[in-house]
Structure 1
């Protein structure tokens, strides 16, 4: 009952705010019906933000899942020698996103940052390059920080699944002459496929919610090149004080995220039951 109330109240508030003229200090001033939603759906800024957020979420989730799975398999194959490495790899996950954003802002800084320093070493005399100030590459800079922070979660989930697999099946396959690649492709991978799909689903949802990194690293810029939906919602509510528009964007984001994640959820459910 408590969980129902905690989940239902925010949803009812968002829906009510989207149907009314609501400011930060005075919500539910006037009933507008679907006016906010129609204006939001027709907004080019909102459309671009949702498109950017969807592409960002899928790309980041894929990168984290592939890198995390590969790392988990490598750690699983070196159980005895990888204790310290496993601990170090999990550290990014416990670092607050704001700290991660600041760290990568320094890395991408055109004045003595790591990337700038490497460019000067490889190509002395070349000019500086500010990735986070480039309308094309800024979102990739944010994505890199995101992948660095959350890939350890995928590593942890897949590594745990690898530890829990039935060794008798693997040993039987080895007795039948299966080699390393055959074992992985026909035995190991199918056994942990459900966990990999679940990890991708979790990562996808987390990527749709990204805000901290954008706020710290680019503030939605340059221009609107990194203005993901969560940042646009924040700007509408806390900068423009338009809670009604912010609520409408939130509902649209929920619809888009549901459409994108449902197929992944079905795939995950199917693999978990196989």
Structure 2
């Protein structure tokens, strides 16, 4: 079990516009939208975490042993609730980035980028296996940096989810983390369908999806790349894409390894050569 009661059971800070008698903040429609998203996501998160906690209790046998069909139904409900909670948390993240000074709150400390990449890959390993995709983290030396570990794992997980979703069975997704000339760099490269040049900037926006259909899993809300970009920006860095249709895409998140901007980040590599043309 994932321990949602312990992980998410704490009280949440008030979301913008939470008081019913208070007008939504901001002078324009974008501010109002971000405030609404934050409020809606906050209100959804509380019952979702409660639902996951009760499902966890059921699966732990607290209410008595479950029959195999009951356990299967509970696992299905848990998987759906977890997916919805990830969406809610992504909405909170992008709404927070769009409000106020546009900066996400970070809890920074020492992190190892390879550990971050391995945790993100582990979270998506089952989905990749179901899709027939090889998911691997390039082995290397430890890669110390400074950042918010939880947000960095979510950033990389979003990139991996996107890569797996748009890579055909038999393809590959590769993660590599390193520190280059003072920059913490995480590459997520795939042999997927690629992104047309005209769409590369647009797909980094919120609630935007590219023209290519998703090959595995449900069609997303267009938040994954936006979440990754906001986390990279909050760390003083950026998210960049290099892609060739029919060959693949490499997403690179780069930020100052020690929290100070060291200059120009290293250039993006070419996409991985695709196993097949899509």
Report which structure shows greater RCO (CA 8 Å, sep ≥6): 1
Q: Indicate the structure with greater strand content.
A: 2
Q: Indicate the structure with greater helix content.
A: 1
TM-score past 0.5 threshold = no
